[in-house]
Structure 1
Amino acid sequence: MINRPETRDLLAEARQVLLDSLVPELGGERKYEALMIANAMGMAIREQEQQEAGEPESTDVMLSRFLAGHALPEESEQGEQTLARALRERVVDGSDRELRAVLRAMTETRLKVNNPGYLK
């Protein structure tokens, strides 16, 4: 079998070259655009690492258990949409500890991808 680099490793290397070699040569709007691309690449790397660690699945399991425990069918909607509808319609109590744990887990999972420094 051929030794193939992992997608995460390729993204990380490309991001590093972008930041180290290209960004310093750019100015103004082009530099801003290159930094946005590097940021998006970093988010993709972190998201892939999360998926490999099974984090989104554990959050999805928490959400599914909450919905099932409160007799909220997922129907054709995704779990988050069902939860949002239940909150809008005040079907679930906002002070429910289990709900708060689910919302916190969902928020932390997203922050680990989008803005990991915020959690520190």
Structure 2
Amino acid sequence: MALRTWNRYLEYAQAYPIVTLFLSTLVLLSAGPIIIFACVTGISLGILVGVAAVIVIVIQSIVVSIAGAILLFVLGTIVVLAVFTFFWLVAGYLGFHFLRNLVIVFQAQHQEFQRQQQQKLHQQQKQ
């Protein structure tokens, strides 16, 4: 179809060169503003899309940085709490173990003291 139309145009151009020149010039002149508008619009849209892409990338990197900082803070807090919890569990266990042994030693000393008191009492009663 396009080839047939082009051939028809060439036939008119050979038969009527002045009219074809005038019509071609008229078509080009009427298409000129549309072409200029399309170019300006394309350039404007390209600039807008480029600026929007830069803004999106900047905002995205800021958001990712903030999210990363929050995530590191949360994970760091969890690790610190886990380490301190383990530390206090170990310290509590060792403290409890120490106090239990201390009570056992005091009870043994008290029993030994009572036994010695009873022996002294028996010796005094024998005399």
Output the TM-score relative to the length of structure 1: 0.24
Structure number with higher relative contact order (C-alpha < 8 Å, ≥ 6 residues apart)? 1
Mark the structure with the bigger radius of gyration: 2
